[in-house]
Amino acid sequence: MQALVLAGGEGTRLRPLTLSVPKPVMPLAGRPFLTFMLDWLAEHGVDEAILSCGFLSDDVERVLGHQHGSMTLRYVVETEPLGTAGPVRLANDRGLLAERFLVLNGDALTDIDVGAEIAQHERTGAAATLALIAVEDTTSYGVVPTAADGQVEAFLEKSPGPAPTNRINAGAYVLEREVVMRIPPDRAVSFEREVFPSMIGEGLYGYMAAGYWVDIGTPERYLEATYDLLADRVRSTLPPRDETGSLIGEGCITSGARIGPMSVLGRHCSVGDESIVERSVLLDTVRVGSDCLVTGAVLAEGVRVEDRARIEEMAIVGAGATVGADVRVAPGTKIEPGERVAIGERVE
């Protein structure tokens, strides 16, 4: 089975983290994010993945290489953004696509049963089958109502008021190659706004998926996915966590500090005496001084936090930034890569 993964976005909602690392290989629980998706696809028989990349594509290829376990990785690079459907046409025009293939949005962490989706696709003789997932709050998503036999009836973009269904597009499609011919070449094209609406009544089905699903495209959901991985709410091959549910990378120095609960430290981090790091993510080579508090925050690679600093809920500190001694970084604050926050300041 073949899969095409849409991994060309710039990850603007995760900035400043994605200013230095492309979102597909942004570390999640100590691993490049896309490796979780590749593991999941391999479980369902995918042996070839085509990664459609754009922003910082060379870095994605450098990190992931051309083999993931038994899976072959190929790359298609968008010289300009092509939307969600344009990359599929590009891969087809380069002779890379099989007669039937999967298309996945590259920013979801999930364990839904793709094998069952493929089986339904075969039973119905569909041209395209879309995985739909139930969510409690649909206000951030478009919804996809279906008929009793599973045929898609409409694509309704997010709007105020009650929705006709709580099923949203999970970004996991089984497509026959005939669908590709509906995608105009050489321009940006949207599956959701152009291709799929034109297919209603013409072999477009929804698969009612169950299981775990989250879009990691915002800091809030990135941390949610981190906590869920640490707590085994989604299947993964993460190494064992410590007694606080935390993952501590190799070469870390944390003696005298309190790490956890539910935290991730990348490689070669250090946390000073009497400091507390809880429900937070520190990427590689972060240095935290003494008597600091880091709670519910994300610190990118190479960040320096000096003594007695406080970094609070949902604060994001970009790569190589320095937070000076006695600084308070207020909840939700974003500090740009390389920025230095002076001693004693309050940042909001």
pLDDT digits (tens, 9 = 90+) for 71-99: 999 999 888 888 889 999 999 999 899 99
pLDDT grade for 159, boundaries at 50, 70 and 90: low
pLDDT attached to residue 216: 83
pLDDT grade for 142, boundaries at 50, 70 and 90: confident
Mean pLDDT (the chain) is 89
pLDDT attached to residue 326: 92
> Which tokens hold the place of 196?
């799929």
Helix H or strand E encompassing 228: helix 219-230
| Backbone phi and psi for residue 189, each to the nearest 5 degrees, phi listed first | -135, 140
What is the distance between the alpha carbons of residues 232 and 211, in angstroms, rounded to a whole number?
Answer: 13
pLDDT grade for 14, boundaries at 50, 70 and 90: confident
| Residue 293 CA neighbour count, 13 Å, CB half | 10
pLDDT grade for 126, boundaries at 50, 70 and 90: very high
What is the distance between the alpha carbons of residues 28 and 214, in angstroms, rounded to a whole number?
Answer: 13
335, 318 Cβ separation under 8 angstroms: yes
Q: In the chain, what's the furthest Cα-to-Cα distance?
A: 65
Tell me the angle at which helices 57-64 and 33-43 cross, rounded to the nearest 10 degrees. 60
50, 2 Cβ separation under 8 angstroms: yes
Task: Indicate the DSSP class of residue 239.
Answer: P
**End-to-end alpha carbon distance in the chain:** 49
- Determine the average pLDDT of the residues in 291-306: 94
More confident residue, 57 or 261: 261
Active site residue 334: no
- Determine the average pLDDT of the residues in 8-21: 71
The closest alpha carbon to 130, from 102, 110, 89, belongs to 102
| Ramachandran category for residue 31: left, alpha or beta (phi over 0 → left; psi -120 to 50 → alpha) | beta
111, 171 Cβ separation under 8 angstroms: no
pLDDT attached to residue 89: 93
pLDDT grade for 346, boundaries at 50, 70 and 90: low
Comparing 8-22, 247-261, 297-311, 320-334, the range with the smallest average pLDDT is 8-22
pLDDT attached to residue 143: 85
**pLDDT exceeds 80 at position 240:** yes
Residue 42 one-letter amino acid: A
**pLDDT exceeds 80 at position 55:** no
More confident residue, 122 or 55: 122
Mapped onto helix, strand or coil, the DSSP state of residue 192 is helix
pLDDT attached to residue 209: 92
Instruction: Choose the catalytic residue: 123, 158, 340, 346.
Output: 158
- Determine the average pLDDT of the residues in 144-152: 90
How many C-beta atoms surround the C-beta of residue 295 within 10 A? Answer: 17
**pLDDT exceeds 90 at position 302:** yes
Residue 128 one-letter amino acid: A
> Which tokens hold the place of 73?
């990785």
| Backbone phi and psi for residue 196, each to the nearest 5 degrees, phi listed first | -65, -45
Length of the chain equals 348
The sheet carrying 48-53 orders its strands as 67-68, 71-77, 48-53, 2-7, 100-105, 167-176, 128-134, 204-208
Comparing 10-24, 117-131, 327-341, the range with the smallest average pLDDT is 10-24
Beta bridge partners of 27: 32
Q: Which residues contact 233 (CB under 8 A, 6 or more apart)?
A: 212
What is the distance between the alpha carbons of residues 193 and 195, in angstroms, rounded to a whole number?
Answer: 7
| Residue 8 CA neighbour count, 13 Å, CB half | 23
Q: Which residues contact 296 (CB under 8 A, 6 or more apart)?
A: 223, 278, 279, 280, 312, 313, 314, 315, 331
pLDDT attached to residue 99: 93
| Ramachandran category for residue 301: left, alpha or beta (phi over 0 → left; psi -120 to 50 → alpha) | beta
**pLDDT exceeds 70 at position 11:** no
pLDDT attached to residue 10: 65
Mapped onto helix, strand or coil, the DSSP state of residue 226 is helix
Express as a percent the part of the chain with pLDDT over 90. Answer: 54
**pLDDT exceeds 80 at position 17:** no
pLDDT attached to residue 18: 67
252, 265 Cβ separation under 8 angstroms: yes
> Which tokens hold the place of 19?
């200013």
